Amino acid sequence: MDLKNIHSVYFIGIGGIGMSALARYFRFIDIPVSGYDKTETPLTKELVKTGISIHYVDDIGLVSKPFLNAEKTLIVYTPAVAESHSEYQYFRKHGFVIKKRSEVLGLITKESFCFAVAGTHGKTTTSSILAHLLKETGTPLTAFLGGISEDFNSNFLLEGTDFSVVEADEFDRSFLRLSPNVACITSMDADHLDIYGNPDELTASFIEFTKRIKPGGKLFVRKGLPLEGVTYGIEDDSDFCIRNIKIEQGTYIFDLVAPNIVLNGVKFSKPGRHNLLNGLVAFAMAIEAGSPPDRLASALGTFKGVQRRFSYKINTSGFVFIDDYAHHPTEIDAVFDAVKEMHPNRKVLAVFQPHLFSRTRDFGDEFARSLSRFDNVLLLEIYPAREIPIAGIDSEWLLGKMTNTNKQRVKKEDLLTEIQRQNPEVLITMGAGDIGLEIERIKNELTYENEME
């Protein structure tokens, strides 16, 4: 099906962060959109406000008639949807054109100059920074983001169609559907072993992704990765490099050195060396759009961030509350390093909700080691997402692997009470599951308490 012939689009799993960005795109270009998701969330509520009809029961009888025309309706689904899903089965049996989100993303962006951000960590922050830089320098772009940009208050940006910014997701090998002009790879740590089986297969998939770059295109790779490309790093001999870092009032100030470019006193306010690297490669990629380096450097200083990526919910002299999407040991380490750099000598309570039974099993020792670095740890039960339980793998099992004795498992309904009892100087919530739905409640209660003191 050519996208020009689409009259309506139906999404199975419309509430996902990537799916909802696509839904916003089709709605923006005045194509009717409808969809299913298993639960109502703030994201689905926002979609409904734009005129999109959504239901929450797997029942083809709830799909409105205009979307039941196989010749005119495109069905988009997420790999997280089970094969047994009855609506999915109906569309398959009745001759509908059915495509994964990544396939549709590839079709939309193939006619534009496409920037693709790949890596097991950092995709959303890097693509959000890149979209912000391009927008600030007047580049006509469309961006599909895997998180809510605090600069746009959305996971979708449409400022034009000449350029596009997308996340190249390694899950389910989705990124092999893209054909970017410029790409970056931020990291290649083992993950999604339920899909790949072993780390070597994951690495092979990233190598295959690099072959998807269009002739004459360019690949940026973090220094140290086993790939050929334009390198970027911190205090090393990379092609693009950050040097002479200082911290003033929670803001990084540094020199940015690139081929034929030296920019002094560049500012960036997102904590963590990993975020400095994300900002650096976004800067490097944006130059490929013809954006002036000095204006890009200024725009780095105004980047606000992405929701749930080291997001300050409360930041006072007496108490700090940070929320982060971290769900892999490497990401937890990055959060720990960032909080210790920005808030040294303060006691930190970490709340973590493991995501997926298989990931918890595959990286149990690594999770235990990363979490044990914090002063105190509260562990929620594993968020299953698309998986069924694995015998013997639960939060109690993970807790037993941790060397830190200041640890305990806690039920979600008791979480706020336990946080209040511990009365930490710095609180960090982490995880990719539904812990994100608890953040505003925790923030509101703790803000009230701090105001009463």
Is 124 a known ligand-binding residue?
yes
Is 125 a known ligand-binding residue?
yes
Is 197 a known ligand-binding residue?
no
Q: Say whether 368 sits in a helix, a strand or coil.
A: helix
Token pair belonging to 443: 């923030």
Is 119 a known ligand-binding residue?
yes
CA distances from 1 to 48, 104, 373 (A): 26, 10, 52
Token pair belonging to 264: 């002094």
Q: Judge whether 128 and 147 are in contact, CB under 8 Å.
A: yes
CA dist 329 and 316 (Å) reads: 28
What are residue 349's DSSP bridge partners?
Answer: 376, 427
Is 126 a known ligand-binding residue?
no
CA dist 335 and 344 (Å) reads: 13
Tokens 């039974």 locate to: 357
Helices and strands (DSSP H and E) totals, the chain: 15, 21
Is 272 a known ligand-binding residue?
no
Nearest C-alpha neighbor of 222 from the set 232, 234, 230: 232
Q: Judge whether 310 and 324 are in contact, CB under 8 Å.
A: yes
CA dist 107 and 23 (Å) reads: 14
Q: Judge whether 426 and 346 are in contact, CB under 8 Å.
A: yes
Token pair belonging to 220: 């940026």
CA dist 285 and 289 (Å) reads: 7
Is 343 a known ligand-binding residue?
no
Binding site for ATP: which residues?
Answer: 119-125
Binding site: which residues?
Answer: 119-125
